[in-house]
Structure 1
């Protein structure tokens, strides 16, 4: 029998979620503190996507999201 579960059916280990979330949020935090305003403006879209990805990973761990 073939394995036919989609990615949404495979739980993500907590450690993976927390490390990925922390890395994304650290990047955003570092950029806000250390990039000159003009560079931050250019990078804002990329950093926002990283922040959104971190939040999505965190939400994916909610058992209600796996239903």
Structure 2
């Protein structure tokens, strides 16, 4: 599940803290909770702005180019 702007960083999910720019922290945490119930696994909630995503979800080792 791509969390986009509801979860900027893994830290938001892991520490259950709202994003820093939210105008409604309670609503942001409620959105995070809802994502947690909808996702089959919490590790599949992908933050919208965390570079760590590229470490946790490595790209393919090989690629095929089709022109």
Provide the TM-score with structure 1 as the length reference: 0.33
Please tell me whether Structure 1 or Structure 2 has the larger radius of gyration of its CA atoms.
Answer: 1
Larger strand proportion, structure 1 or 2?
2
**Structure of higher RCO (CA pairs closer than 8 Å, 6+ residues apart):** 1
